[in-house]
Chain A
Amino acid sequence: MIRFENVTKAFGSKKVLRGLTLNVPKGTSMVIIGGSGTGKSVTLKCVLGLIAPDSGTILVDGQDAANAADRDAFLARFGMLFQGGALFDSLPVWQNVAFRLLRGALKRPAAEAREIAIDKLRRVGLTADVADLFPAELSGGMQKRVGLARAIAADPEIIFFDEPTTGLDPIMAGVINDLIREIVTEMGATAMTITHDMTSVRAIADNVAMLHDGVIKWTGPVSEMDNSGDPYLDQFIHGRAEGPIAAVR
């Protein structure tokens, strides 16, 4: 389980998180929605230690994320799909996917790592032909899929997806959504996705949390999302300009 307790984070005078509290049960898929600049990415990055929260605690299975004794072992439990893919452009696709398997505690022989990488590429619908290409030679959708393959390469217990469908056409977005859902179910992983794509939310989520103004305004099962009665959530999921969320922020 991932537990956020009263987490705050400010960048200069801009308070992004103002006491975020949220539980993500083990083995479930939580989708955090909210407008741009509301701190969704910051939330994920705080768990991974990429950004240090100003106060509050983040517990991963009871372990404080900020004070993990063995940082490498802690991070080895996670996989992350970045918004832009964040593929290493100096490495071919298979080395991107097998990055964790080619170095550090999970190091395997190169041939075995390559086999695993090709297997993971197949899992996300890519053929072995792309293994030796460089990321710049791939389309946006293919890059996203390679990023997904990299996120699941070491069979992590927890997977984060940062805007998995941003910049993709609706068909490719559907493909990625289905892949994420399948992978999370099949691996039994705990997933946290941040997005403002409502199609994604309905395809991926077990639970949904609405982040606004640095706090969770509503959280509950995706099946209850449409009848929540929460004015913030209603405005967001229906994409209305009028409502408690200012259209111009």
Chain B
Amino acid sequence: MGRLLSPLALIGAMTLQAMAMLGRISLFTVQTFSHLFRPPFYPKELAIALLNIGWLSLPVVGLTAIFTGGALALQIYSGGARFNAEAVVPQIVAIGMVRELGPVLVGLMIAARVTSSIAAEIATMKVTEQIDALVTLSTHPMKYLVVPRVLAALITVPLLVAVGDVIGIAGGYTVAVKNLDFNAATYLQNTVDFLEARDIISSLVKGAAFGTIAALMGCFYGMNSDRGAQGVGRATKTSVEAAAILILAANFTLTGVFFSV
């Protein structure tokens, strides 16, 4: 009987664990936002986070976007050719990049680059007692470590998404004009005419949401890391997994909110 019930017990235990984790993450998120507008503020830490999360992510975001935009143009042209719809390349590249691929790919690249780095840094600080040291020096770790990183991601990731959207469209444009014989002016005109304000707003809102998720997951798993090198490794890995899954889930939800009507 015990054996028969054990898979059910396992599912039950895993569900309880998942719910408890969700509860802890929700509480952590509420705590972070409650500290966001209450002093003391650490402008130097915020500036460093803006530089690390925003400026230094530009190369990876740019390269991801340009290759994706180019590949998208080739795919749409090749797929569209099956029913004589090659001409829709500018419109679909624009809509694909701005509505979906720009925010999602930037979000995932930020999860890979920023979430992992935040989680590893904070987890190492935890295992080497640097976070305890912060407390003894009358400095709240949430305010000093978490708030600047989350705020920096909230500010910079929408900008990175905007940059990614533009570079992705530029990638598609380059491929279309150089390889697929599109007229440059017409391509740009079609792109501009086709995009709506809602597309751009959704892209930026997704960027803000994904950035916040990426930074929060890095901070949460870093602050809750187990001891030792293995603990740091596990915190880093889990933070990236959680960030990626939550970004994709949030993308689905936000797409529904913006475009289901």
Contacts and interface: CB of A to CB of B under 8 A. Distances in A.
Given A83-B129, A88-B130, A75 B136 contact: yes
B46 to A, nearest CB: 13
A48 B135 contact: yes
A240 B178 CA distance: 83
A113 B125 CA distance: 24
Contact of A86 (B40, B128, B138, B139): B128
Contact of B133 (A71, A76, A88, A105): A88
Interface residues on A, range: 20 to 34
B27 interface: no
A235 B128 CA distance: 32
Interface in B118-159: 125, 128-130, 132-139
Contact of B129 (A49, A71, A86): A86
B137 A50 contact: no
Contact of B138 (A75, A88, A89): A75
Interface residues on B, range: 10 to 19
B42 interface: yes
Interface string A71-90: 11001101110111011110
A contacts with B: majority SS: mixed
A82 B137 contact: no
Contact of A72 (B129, B133, B134, B138): B138
A86 B133 contact: yes
Interface in A94-136: 99-100, 103-105
A26 interface: no
A150 B128 CA distance: 16
Nearest to A156: B136
Nearest to A84: B128
Given A83-B129, A84-B128, A86-B130, A76 B135 contact: no
A48 B130 CA distance: 14
B107 to A, nearest CB: 26
A45 interface: yes
Nearest to A51: B132
A156 to B, nearest CB: 10
A78 B138 CA distance: 10
Which of B40, B130, B136: most chain A CB closer than 10 A?
Answer: B136
Given A83-B129, A86-B129, A100 B135 contact: no
Interface string B214-258: 000000000000000000000000000000000000000000000
B122 to A, nearest CB: 11
B138 A100 contact: yes
B224 to A, nearest CB: 15
Contacts of B133: 80, 82, 86-88
Contacts of A89: 130
Contact of A104 (B129, B130, B135, B139): B139
Contact of A103 (B42, B125, B130): B42
A100 B135 CA distance: 11
- A-B interface, 4 closest residue pairs, ranked by CB to CB distance from nearest: A86-B133, A86-B129, A72-B138, A75-B138
Given A86-B129, A87-B130, A104-B139, 17 more contacts: A50-B132, A50-B135, A75-B135, A75-B137, A80-B136, A82-B133, A84-B128, A86-B130, A86-B132, A88-B130, A88-B134, A89-B130, A103-B42, A103-B139, A104-B138, A105-B138, A150-B137
